[in-house]
Chains A and B, each alone.
Chain A
């Protein structure tokens, strides 16, 4: 066991971790932040996406020990300070960008990372960016719309073209 200290959603936490403890296990089991999900074991589905030092990372493919000293953001920390949905979350609700909700935390984290680098992405750029996030419910249509809407674009118009 080694002791790690990191900032998770703005709060500093220190815990002992096993050498083989994945970041996602640390978040779900030690911190009880169960919004980060595990949907595969080959680093492809993206349900576990979080931000580490501002970058999108698959929490199932990184050890907790490697996040020592890092700033980690998860879905639980995404809402506005007053608890209301942030602009991306709200766009997902407004545009029905989720159904079963299981891939959703990863989708929201990926969308947030994309919009940080590329504030008005095209449809093609969004689809390309989401290569590592699999959704089985929505056919992606409304996820793409939601992300476009969150970036201030007229998603309905683009989808109808």
Chain B
């Protein structure tokens, strides 16, 4: 790693102030950033560690919305959303491994928007709101392609608000080495609509599969997906772990299975 200082603010306000410094960079759980730093692919002058900010660590229900602090770890989310939002709990419980889940946070994942991250599919499918230290952003506006988000320099994801679906499930087909999703599909059924968020598959990052949303909106059953044309294979990632055609096919399979598993 290049050399840098590290600062551990106790509040969001202090973190924002610290991030004002030249080349300062926030670090959430660090489960993606630290390996990147080891490879010397980033050279911050200062890391602002968000892990000490207690005010960003919470899970609470607010009416029909589940509100999660940006600094909440996957492990905590897996435990504390199980009752109200089992689909999200199931997603969180299968991110990485137990040690990663004890450090990695939802805010870090949403801010990084890795094309194979799990949460963005849930955020899109549910129509979540991403809250930062400055503003609130609708999920549809927030995710802007691989590693691209609406965040500005130094802006911190402080909270994510998920409308709680009637039924939901996440199905992840793992890439065999990293165990990240080769294709991950989050299906969320609300009274008036169905959301289908797909991660891992597309060259454009996480996306909503609108054909499936429509089909499932009128008939929330696995069979409703069977007749659909898979997303265009040429839009899908093709790499040593799977062709675009395979990923496109898996989008359909995982959607079907998520519908069947939704609770």
Residues on A lying within 8 angstroms of B by beta carbon are 2, 18-20, 22, 41-44, 46, 49, 52, 55-58, 60-63, 65-66, 68, 110, 113-114, 129-133
With known contacts A19-B4, A65-B6, A41–B35 Cβ distance under 8 A: yes
Give Cα A131–Cα B94 distance, bound, in whole angstroms: 10
Taking a contact as CB atoms under 8 Å apart, the answer to whether A55 and B102 are in contact is yes
Could you mark each residue 170-204 of chain B with 1 if its beta carbon is under 8 Å from any beta carbon of chain A, else 0? 00000000110000000000000000000000000
With known contacts A20-B2, A66-B51, A61–B98 Cβ distance under 8 A: no
Taking a contact as CB atoms under 8 Å apart, the answer to whether B97 and A61 are in contact is no
Counting contact residues on chain B (CB < 8 A from A), the size range is: 20 to 34
Taking a contact as CB atoms under 8 Å apart, the answer to whether A57 and B3 are in contact is no
**A residues near B2, Cβ cutoff 8 Å:** 20
Taking a contact as CB atoms under 8 Å apart, the answer to whether B98 and A114 are in contact is yes
Q: List 10 A-B contacts (CB under 8 A).
A: A2-B5, A19-B3, A19-B46, A41-B39, A42-B35, A46-B97, A61-B103, A65-B49, A110-B99, A132-B96
Give Cα A113–Cα B6 distance, bound, in whole angstroms: 28
With known contacts A19-B3, A19-B6, A61-B34, A43–B100 Cβ distance under 8 A: yes
Taking a contact as CB atoms under 8 Å apart, the answer to whether B34 and A18 are in contact is no
Taking a contact as CB atoms under 8 Å apart, the answer to whether A55 and B35 are in contact is no
**B residues near A132, Cβ cutoff 8 Å:** 96-100
Of the candidates B38, B46, B99, the one whose C-beta lies within 8 Å of that of A56 is B99
Taking a contact as CB atoms under 8 Å apart, the answer to whether B49 and A55 are in contact is no
Classify the secondary structure of B's interface with A: mixed
Given contacts A43-B35, A62-B30, A131-B179, 7 further A-B contacts (CB under 8 A): A19-B46, A49-B99, A58-B103, A66-B49, A66-B52, A110-B99, A113-B98
B37 located at the interface, meaning its Cβ lies under 8 Å from any Cβ of chain A in the complex? yes
**B residues near A129, Cβ cutoff 8 Å:** 97-98
**B residues near A55, Cβ cutoff 8 Å:** 75, 102
Of the candidates A49, A61, A66, the one whose C-beta lies within 8 Å of that of B8 is A66
B144 located at the interface, meaning its Cβ lies under 8 Å from any Cβ of chain A in the complex? no
Most buried by A among B52, B96, B99: B99
Give Cα A99–Cα B215 distance, bound, in whole angstroms: 54
**B residues near A20, Cβ cutoff 8 Å:** 1-4, 6, 37
CB distance from A57 to the nearest CB of B (A): 5
**B residues near A110, Cβ cutoff 8 Å:** 98-99
B149 located at the interface, meaning its Cβ lies under 8 Å from any Cβ of chain A in the complex? no
**A residues near B179, Cβ cutoff 8 Å:** 131
**B residues near A113, Cβ cutoff 8 Å:** 98
Of the candidates A18, A56, A60, A65, the one whose C-beta lies within 8 Å of that of B98 is A56
**A residues near B75, Cβ cutoff 8 Å:** 55
**A residues near B4, Cβ cutoff 8 Å:** 19-20
B243 located at the interface, meaning its Cβ lies under 8 Å from any Cβ of chain A in the complex? no
Give Cα A61–Cα B27 distance, bound, in whole angstroms: 12
